[in-house]
Amino acid sequence: MLSHSLHYVIFVIAVFALYWAVHRHFWPRMLVLLVASLVLYTGFTQLPTLVAQGNVTLKALLLAGLPLLIFLTGVTVDHLLVKGLGRTDRPGVRKLLVVLSIVSNLGMLAGFKYLELLRKTALAVLGPWGVEVRPEPFHLLLPVGLSFFVFQSISYTVDVYRGKASSGHSFVEHLLYMLFFPRVVSGPIVRASELMAHFREVPTLTPDDGGKAMFRIAVGLVKKLIIADVLGSGIVDPVFGSPHAYSSAECAVAAVAYTLELYYDFSGYSDIAIGVAALFGFRFPENFARPYLAKNLFEFWNRWHMSLSSWLRDYLYIPLGGNRRSKPRVLFNLMMVMVLGGLWHGADWRFAVWGAVHGVALCAVRCWWWFRGKQPEPGPVRVGLGMLATFTLVVLTRVVFRAPDMTHAGEFYARMLAGIPGLANVGPLVWTMLAVAIVAHTLPMKVYDLTALAFLKLPAPARAVVLVLIGLGIRQLSTLEARPYVYLQF
């Protein structure tokens, strides 16, 4: 169930009513959230429709339940290891339990997400040499959101080991932490200290907090359904689908449009997740901070998908040695983080290429800083050039991210650099949405804060009218067909 659909709105309203009816009692409110999360994760909200259409078979139910069974098994193993970690003071045993937890999580991720990639790679590399490699695909069912679950599980285990999180949580709390429905599938990646620590607190929701949450959800819906979807259907999909049918200028516009679409699509998802979580008394971390205004690539990664960037920093870059080792080792650490971070997005070597390009660029920036030494604050011209260079690199590498394969990406680059003029296929609505996207991204945050404050000062009936008007505007301007979130494919 997509979080920008009407079904999701109805679902959240029903869960909201049940939750606040029992919110003073720990187990009832936990069970409401857990059942809601399981229902949303398994897709059983669509069961009545499927039954009415006669589309439900025993095989379909088994196929739907198998990924859930795999997920529950993984959580059970991890829970037992974390419990054992919290009960022993022996350093050797503690380290062994952490290693077992990390290996089991990464093993499950590698098996279900990357085994097919390894089979294809082995077939392509070893096949010509006469080495026998399985020719048929494995046809494994990938549990939805497995990458996010694995990252959250590893962070929880490591935080318990470091003393930053408690192991004294029940299996239900552990399961809910992994499956909490507002951010299931695509994040943000929430640390145990940011979510599990608040499970036992009696939640509260003031009128202002509720108003802020509704405003945040409305902003997320506008980002997704108006800006991202119009750019996606209006220019990105057709041009990336057949780049040879469009001019070089139109390909360049499509590359910029995809870069903006990806931001508004994913940040819109994050806004909705943060807003819905706030309706239940939970505070999620911010996931974006106007990344396309970054002055360099390091700043970009500190502003883009911040929950993932901070995870890679805390649980991969720093354990590798971070900035504390020799200069060659620092550069190696940067490359490792970016290549693995690229592969995390999908079981395809083009994601590793995308990550490697960013890694090389980050290493180049780091070497330049070492060479220059400490410099005074840059002036407006240098800041502007830095922003332009960073945005250009991000746009060009996004082509690899969007194209179905490297061959297609190469064709797109060749067409974009062919020097063919003409923008006849870029319609007025696309131009308008590009302008809206750029202006909305560059506005000072104070403008958003003042807009939210003005919304909160309205009486409740007026707030309702504003939300209805936003809904009508979305229906008028958005595409007729609900488009899935772009990040769901990663």
In whole angstroms, give the CA distance from residue 179 to residue 199: 13
Burial of 457 (0-12, 13-18, 19+ CB in 10 A): exposed
Cβ burial 403-438 (10 Å sphere, 16+ → b, else e): beeeebbebbbebbeeeeeeeebbeeebeebbebbe
Q: Which residues contact 174 (CB under 8 A, 6 or more apart)?
A: 75, 78, 79, 82, 156, 196
Give catalytic status of residue 305 as yes or no: no
Q: Which of 4, 79, 174, 345 is catalytic?
A: 345
Peptide bond into 188 cis (omega under 30): yes
- Taking the C-alpha atoms of residue 194 and residue 160, their distance in angstroms, rounded to an integer, is 13
- Return the exposure string of 285-324: e unless at least 16 CB atoms fall within 10 Å of the residue's CB, then b: bebbebbbebbbbbbbbebbbbbbbbbbebbbbeebebee
The total of other beta-carbon atoms located within 10 Å of residue 372's CB is 8
**DSSP symbol at 291:** G
Task: Extract the tokens encoding 19.
Answer: 């939750």
User: Would you name the residues annotated as active-site residues?
Assistant: 345
